[in-house]
Amino acid sequence: MDQPVTNPLPDVADDAAFAARTLDWVGMERIALPLKLADGQGGTIQVPAWADVSVNLGKPEVRGIHMSRLYLRVQDAFAGEAVTAAGMRRILEDLVESQRGLSTAARIVLRYGHLLRRPALQSANSGWKNYPVELEAKLVDVRFSLQIALSVEYSSTCPASAALSRQANADRFLAEFSGSGPLAPASVAEWLASERGMAATPHAQRSRADLRVTLNAAFDELPLADLVEGIEAALGTPVQTAVKREDEQAFARLNADNLMFCEDAARRVAAVLAADGRVARFDARVSHFESLHAHDAVAHVSG
């Protein structure tokens, strides 16, 4: 029996009735996919992510790219291995190759929450902490570049507010005990531990450091965990996960030891990034979401 004749599916991308022009980037945004990431402890963790993928269209006489090829190749590319700089470059090369001579450049942006398990300050507890991350990789005329955008939350206690609070506490102490004779240390300690012993408290607020770093091409592994460790150690008061009373007290002590204006925080962040040999360039912004007033205090630094 004769097989029925089927006509080929139409492809209007070959229609030449359009204004000829090259395009910088064309592709898709917010493609859902899972990513495998190094967990900072020698293993991997899988997280949901969203990918933007695009290529240039370098031939003005061609109407459109092979967009479905980008989608399918990105879906397959991240299925089997953890994300690395070398892996990102291979994927970009494959995306350029998929366009059959139409493209010389490719770009991928990955957005996800990087999960790291963080120990409590004093107790034996721990918890997962989410760090918003954006990876942007480009391959333009065989030149590869990779940027990491990362956010780290911390607490900031105002030095001016702390000084004013100390003065208020001292004034109350003098008001209550200026006419007294010698005081036993135990009596002073008891008074300090009472509600009367705290006339004022400094204001503190949740704060955030937003970083964008360009990595040197010589390094393959993504230094996300190391960047987090360095920034949190420099700021001294990272936002916590599991907290018992002893952890909360330890956190209060850390805040007292790390009083900082936004200018101080920006300089601490810059010192960490400038000393990291994997970082070719950085831009950072710190934001202190003030509890004293309705506007925020911010500082920018680059290097």
How many residues are recorded in the chain? Answer: 303
pLDDT at 213: 97
pLDDT at 10: 67
Does the model's pTM come out above 0.85?
Answer: yes
pLDDT by residue (tens digit) across 211-258?
999 999 877 788 999 999 999 999 999 999 999 999 999 999 999 999
Are the C-beta atoms of 205 and 291 separated by less than 8 Å?
yes
Measure the CA–CA gap between 6 and 166, rounded to whole angstroms.
86
Domains along the sequence of the chain with CATH: 22-158+203-302 (3.10.270.10)
pLDDT at 138: 97
Tell whether the model's pLDDT for residue 167 goes beyond 70. yes
User: What's the chain's average pLDDT?
Assistant: 91
Percentage of the chain beyond pLDDT 70 is 94
Measure the CA–CA gap between 93 and 96, rounded to whole angstroms.
5
pLDDT by residue (tens digit) across 63-121?
899 999 999 999 888 887 888 899 999 999 999 999 989 999 999 999 999 989 999 99
Measure the CA–CA gap between 135 and 109, rounded to whole angstroms.
5
pLDDT by residue (tens digit) across 22-49?
999 999 999 999 998 877 677 788 889 9
Q: Is the dihedral of CA 166, 287, 49, 228 positive or negative?
A: negative
Q: How many CB atoms lie within 10 A of CB 231?
A: 22
pLDDT at 16: 56
pLDDT at 4: 66
pLDDT by residue (tens digit) across 278-289?
999 999 999 999
